[in-house]
Amino acid sequence: MSRILILGGTGETGSWFARYFKDKGYEVAVWGPSGRVDVAERLGVRFAHDMMAEAERSDIVLVSVTIEKTVEVIRQVAPLMRPGSLIMDVTSIKSEPVRAMKTFAPAGVEALGTHPMFGPTMPSMRGQTIILTPVQEKTGRWLNEISSLFQSDGAHVEVLGSEEHDRIMAVVQALTHFAYIGIGSTLKALQFDVENSRRFMSPVYEIMIDFVGRILDQNPELYASIQSNPQAASVRQTFLSQCMMLCEKADCGDMEGFKQMMMQAAEHYGETHQALERSDRVINARIREREGRKKDL
């Protein structure tokens, strides 16, 4: 039976992976800076009171602490690990953790950057995407084993370099979250009655406003740290500059200029009609759900 130590295993994401690996037959130990032994007991796993000693005898050390603490934790535990073992992280930024694992893991210790593209509210990884970022000169049998394990549970696995990962996530995560949080902050600044507005909503508005609420319901520390992606600053600035250009055209009545920006964006986007059809299916499902609720009343 393989031993896995999950650092940050008493947090939401760490607890998710503790349950996952326990179900897979691993001997799981968790550690958290708050010393939440009760969480370990609830998960049915051991709490690692001596993090360093546990790291020395583990087959896998999974780092699931906050982004800003990840590199320091890797620096502490990686040098203690034995040849043939694996250190991996599950943070949403990959360049710095990958660099740290390559720097501090001893010879014979493998390293793997991992980014689950789903949150701990998901019941399983079936249908979810997991990104793996192999660490140069620290990749061996564990890459295939972890990839095969996740795929066997229905996950879609993508393998990327750490720099490419961060470049893509600067849009996929940082920009998307920034835009939704910006809408939420605007609603607050306007003192706009969101609940009352649902009386007049279209299905498109309902879906959009629910996604805003979904993001706002998450851990603010995590979402703030995602913005620390080294490639996100330029993406945010580009977004804001494009918003200002649209705003200026709308404010001065330059409807032709506004339409031109929209048409150019559509041309770059590409398959807009397919996107329309996919979103129509989501909208129609929401309408059926709403009608079903009315019948139940």
Give me the mean pLDDT over the 232-252 stretch: 97
- pLDDT of 291 reads 77
What are residue 106's phi and psi, to 5 degrees? -65, 170
Average pLDDT value for the chain:
94
> In CATH, what number does 3-160 get?
3.40.50.720
What length does the chain have? 297
Give me the mean pLDDT over the 260-275 stretch: 95
- pLDDT of 259 reads 96
In terms of pLDDT, which residue wins out, 295 or 42?
A: 42
What are the tokens at 183?
């809408």
Domain layout of the chain by residue ranges: 3-160, 165-296
- pLDDT of 106 reads 96
pLDDT in tens, 197-227: 988 888 889 899 999 999 999 989 889 999 9
- pLDDT of 201 reads 83
- pLDDT of 196 reads 93
Tell me the pLDDT band of 283, cut-offs 50, 70 and 90.
confident
What are the tokens at 175?
């920009």
Residue 297 has pLDDT above 70, yes or no: no
- pLDDT of 288 reads 85
Residue 286 has pLDDT above 90, yes or no: no
pLDDT in tens, 105-161: 999 999 999 999 998 989 999 999 999 999 999 999 999 999 999 999 999 999 999
The strand pair at 3-7 and 156-159 is best described as unpaired
Instruction: Provide the edge-to-edge strand list for the sheet that holds 129-134.
Output: 46-47, 27-31, 3-7, 60-63, 86-89, 110-116, 129-134, 156-159
Proportion of the chain above pLDDT 70, given as a percent: 99
Give the global pTM.
0.86
Give me the mean pLDDT over the 79-86 stretch: 97
Tell me the pLDDT band of 282, cut-offs 50, 70 and 90.
confident
Tell me how far apart the alpha carbons of residues 265 and 261 are, in angstroms, rounded to a whole number.
6
Nearest to 17 by CA among 35, 43, 42: 43
Give me the mean pLDDT over the 42-71 stretch: 96
Residue 290 has pLDDT above 80, yes or no: no
- pLDDT of 202 reads 87
